[in-house]
C-alpha cells in the first residue's frame, strides 16, 4: 500500500513544488516506486518533471477527480524509471467550484487513488497555495503531510490557520492524518535572520522539524526550466545533497515507526 504524503502550506513560494518533485525523485532513485500528484492548477510540478501541457489535456488529475477518467490513464512516465506523475492544468482551477455540488466532494481524490494504491510505495501530492477544497481533498486522502516553510520573518504566520484546518479534517474525515514534519527551505546559512528564525521554529516544534534543511541553491531554481529534478540536473549540488538527506530521513523515520530494525551503518 502506498504511503500518501501531502506537501502543504497555503502560502505560495515556500518550496512546496520544488520539495515535492525533488523528494519524489530522490525516493525514486532509492528504488521506491513513487507517484507525484500535481494538485496545483498552475501545473508547475508537471512542467518541472518535463511534461508538456499539450501531452495531457484530455487526461490528467482533473479528469480523474471528477470521474471522467481512471487515474491509471492520467499517469505519465518521467525520465526516472521509478517516478511517475499525474499532471494538472488550468482545468483544475474550475474543479474547486464544480466539486462543490458533487456528492462526497471532499473524497474525490481518495476515491481516484483506489486503483493505484498497490502500484506505489509513495504518492506525493503537491498542493495549491490555499486551504480550499483541493487541499481538503489532499488531506483527506493522505496518511501524513509535510509543511515546507521558508526561514524568513513571519514564516510561522498562517501556521495556526493551517493546523486548524488539519484539526477539522482529523475530527471529521481523516482521524489518522499525521504530521511528518516541517521542512525548512531556502535556508541561507550566512543570514543571521535565517539562523534566528530556524532556531525559533526548532524551539517551537522540536522533533517535528526535519533535520534535513534545504539551502537556497540556484541549481534548484534552474532545474525546472530543463524539466529535470535536481538529481538529474546536478547530482553534486547542495540541493541534491539536501533532498537526498531528506529522503533518507523520511525512509528511516518510517522504518522506526513500523518498529523495523535500524539499517546497518554504511562504511565510509
Ligand atoms: P510553492 O510551490 O510553495 O509556490 P516553489 O517550489 O514553486 O514554491 O518555489 C518558489 C520559487 O522559488 C520557484 O521559482 C523555485 O524555483 C524557487 N525555489 C524553491 N526552492 C528553492 C531553493 N531551495 N533555492 C533556490 N530557489 C528555490
Ligand atoms: Mg507550487
The domain that holds 43 is classified in CATH as 3.40.50.300
- The mean per-residue pLDDT over the stretch 215-219 comes to 98
Average pLDDT, the chain: 94
pLDDT at 268: 53
Q: What span, in angstroms and rounded, lies between the C-alpha atoms of 5 and 198? A: 23
Ligand 1 atom closest to residue 126's alpha carbon, by position in its atom list: 2
Asked if residue 45 belongs to a domain, the reply is: yes
- Output the pTM of the full model: 0.95
Q: What is the ipTM of this complex?
A: 0.99
Asked if residue 119 belongs to a domain, the reply is: yes
For 52-109, how does the pLDDT look when each residue is reduced to its tens digit (9 = 90+)? 888 888 899 999 999 999 999 999 999 999 999 999 998 899 888 888 888 889 999 9
Assign 97 to helix, strand or coil: helix
Tell me the H-state helices in the chain: 16-29, 44-48, 61-65, 91-100, 108-113, 133-141, 159-172, 192-205, 218-222, 230-233, 238-257
Asked if residue 153 belongs to a domain, the reply is: yes
Grid coordinates standing for 171?
A: 475530527
Give me the number of domains the chain comprises: 1
> Is the Cβ atom of 45 under 6 angstroms away from ligand 1?
no
Name the residue with the closest Cα to ligand 1, atom 4: 13
Enclosing domain of residue 79 = 3-251
Name the residue with the closest Cα to ligand 1, atom 16: 221
Q: What span, in angstroms and rounded, lies between the C-alpha atoms of 247 and 210? A: 11
Asked if residue 189 belongs to a domain, the reply is: yes
Phi, psi at 192, each rounded to 5°: -70, -30
pLDDT at 23: 98
> Is the Cβ atom of 21 under 6 angstroms away from ligand 1?
no
**What one-character DSSP code corresponds to residue 214?**
P
For 164-196, how does the pLDDT look when each residue is reduced to its tens digit (9 = 90+)? 999 999 999 999 999 999 999 999 999 999 999
Ligand 1 atom closest to residue 186's alpha carbon, by position in its atom list: 23
Ligand 2 centre from 132 Cα, in Å? 15
Q: Which residues of 249-264 are buried (b: 16+ CB within 10 A; e: fewer)?
A: bbbeeeeeeeeeeeee
Amino acid at each position: 500500500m502506498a504511503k500518501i504524503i501531502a506537501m502543504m502550506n497555503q502560502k505560495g513560494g515556500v518550496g512546496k513544488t520544488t520539495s515535492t518533485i525533488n523528494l519524489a525523485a530522490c525516493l525514486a532513485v532509492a528504488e521506491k516506486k513513487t507517484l507525484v500528484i500535481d494538485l496545483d492548477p498552475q501545473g508547475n510540478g508537471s512542467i518541472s518533471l518535463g511534461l508538456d501541457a499539450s501531452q495531457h489535456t484530455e487526461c490528467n488529475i482533473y479528469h480523474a477527480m471528477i470521474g471522467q477518467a481512471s487515474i491509471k490513464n492520467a499517469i505519465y512516465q518521467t525520465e526516472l524509471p521509478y517516478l511517475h506523475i499525474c499532471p494538472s492544468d488550468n482545468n483544475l482551477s474550475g474543479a474547486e467550484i464544480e466539486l462543490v455540488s458533487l456528492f462526497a466532494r471532499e473524497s474525490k481524490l481518495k476515491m481516484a487513488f483506489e486503483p493505484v494504491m498497490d502500484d506505489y510505495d509513495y504518492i506525493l501530492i503537491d498542493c495549491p497555495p490555499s486551504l480550499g477544497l483541493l487541499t481538503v481533498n489532499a488531506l483527506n486522502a493522505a496518511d501524513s503531510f509535510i509543511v515546507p516553510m521558508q526561514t524568513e520573518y513571519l514564516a510561522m504566520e498562517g501556521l495556526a490557520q493551517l493546523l486548524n484546518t488539519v484539526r477539522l479534517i482529523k475530527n471529521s474525515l481523516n482521524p489518522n492524518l499525521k504530521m511528518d514534519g516541517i521542512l525548512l527551505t531556502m535556508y541561507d546559512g550566512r543570514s543571521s535572520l535565517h539562523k534566528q528564525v530556524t532556531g525559533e521554529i526548532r524551539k517551537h516544534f522540536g522533533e517535528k522539524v526535519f533535520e534535513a534543511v534545504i539551502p537556497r541553491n540556484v541549481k534548484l531554481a534552474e532545474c525546472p526550466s530543463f524539466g529535470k529534478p535536481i538529481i538529474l540536473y546536478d547530482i553534486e549540488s547542495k540541493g541534491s545533497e539536501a533532498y537526498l538527506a531528506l529522503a533518507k530521513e523520511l525512509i528511516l523515520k518510517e522504518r522506526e515507526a513500523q518498529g523495523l530494525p535500524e539499517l546497518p551503518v554504511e562504511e565510509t
